[in-house]
Amino acid sequence: MERVYVGLGSNLAEPLQQLKAALAAIAELPDTRLAATSSFYASDPLGPPEQPRYVNAVAALDTALQPLQLLDALQRIELEQGRVRKAERWGPRTLDLDILLFGSRLIAEERLSVPHYHMHARPFVLYPLAEIAPADLRLADGRTLSELLQACPFAGLERLGNDVTAR
C-alpha cells in the first residue's frame, strides 16, 4: 500500500455536495482505503476571477492501485459527477480530483505529473494537506510541507465549520 494525497475542488453545482459525493466514491474504490479527510475550505478562484468561489479539501488514501489505475478511477468519478472539459483554461468545474503525491514517487507521464506541479504555492492545497499530513513531509524538491506553508499566505481561504476526519 502507498500513501496518496488527493486534492478535491469544485465551484459548480453545489460544490460541497460534489466533494462529499466524491469522497464517498473514493471510499468505495477497490484496493484502497480512505484514511483521512481534511476540513473543507472555501477559496477564491485562482484563474479568471469572474467565476464562483471554490470549495477545496484534501484526502489521504492508502492504495494498492498503480498511479495510472488510480488516475483512471478518479477521472471516472469526475465524469460520473458531470464533469465536462471546457476549452477555457482555468475555468469553473463541477469536480476536480488531482493526485498531489503518490508515496515518494516522481511521475512524469503524459497523463500524470506527480508531485502535482502547482501544489507548492496553492493555499487551497497546502493548508488542507497540512491538516492530515506530517509537517516534515518532504516534496520531491527537498522542501518540507512546513517550509512551503511559511511561504504561502492563508489568503483568500476560509475554513468551513467541519473538522478533519480520520477513519
Query: Which of the following is catalytic: 53, 62, 98, 122?
Result: 98
Query: Which of the following is catalytic: 3, 96, 136, 159?
Result: 96
Nearest one of 25, 26, 58, 59 to 41, comparing CA atoms: 58
Query: Which of the following is catalytic: 3, 53, 85, 93?
Result: 93
44 vs 147 by CB, closer to ligand ROI:
44
Q: Is 98 a catalytic residue?
A: yes
120: cell is 507548492
Q: Least Å distance between CB 96 and ligand ROI?
A: 5
CA dist., res. 167 & res. 154, Å (int): 27
Q: Is 83 a catalytic residue?
A: yes
18 vs 43 by CB, closer to ligand ROI:
43
Give contact residues for ligand ROI (rule: CB under 6 A): 9, 43-47, 54, 56, 90, 96, 124
Q: Least Å distance between CB 91 and ligand ROI?
A: 7
Task: Name the E strands within the chain.
Answer: 2-10, 32-37, 41-43, 54-63, 96-102, 107-108, 113-114, 157-159, 165-166
The residue whose Cβ lies closest to ligand ROI is 9
Q: Least Å distance between CB 111 and ligand ROI?
A: 16
Helix H segments across 11-97? 15-27, 67-80
